[in-house]
Amino acid sequence: MTAPERPLVVLAGIALLEGLGLVVYALFDVIEAVRVGLTGPEDVSNAPALILLVVITAGFGAGMLWVASGWWKAQRWARAPFILSQIIGVLIGYELAQSAGSAERYAGIAIALIALVGLILSFAPGVSRALGDQD
């Protein structure tokens, strides 16, 4: 198996980074809940809410790892879920960038920038050529 073209490697790397980040965040939530218990407002800090958050976050992370594999293998199907996740990433990053705390603000800026780079790169001519979209 040969390595894919450089734009596909970058896209696979972005999807891998995002997928691992989400899976690690889901694990962090579980560890924190066990370590310090459920904290915060009652309507969002209960066992069903935590389970739902962990399942959604880990599932989305696993999906991004699958998309990373698709980019690496130059599969055309990887583009659509990747684009959707990058749009969501830009929106989440923008909201975090508006936060009062500096850590949240910097995380939001980083998330939005990475998502924008992924979004733009997914439409690059080299990617289309590698996926066989152009003759």
pLDDT digits (tens, 9 = 90+) for 56-101: 999 999 999 999 999 999 999 999 999 999 999 999 999 999 988 8
Residue 12 CB-density burial (10 A; 0-12 exposed, 13-18 middle, 19+ buried): buried
Q: What is the pTM of this model?
A: 0.86
Residue, of 49 and 63, whose pLDDT is higher? 63
Q: How far is the C-alpha of 30 from the C-alpha of 50, rounded, in Å?
A: 8
Tokens of residue 98, six digits: 């508006």
Stated length of the chain? 135
Residue with tokens 């979004």: 119
Instruction: Give me the amino acid identity at 28.
Output: F
Residue 37 has pLDDT above 90, yes or no: no
| 3-class secondary structure, 117 | helix
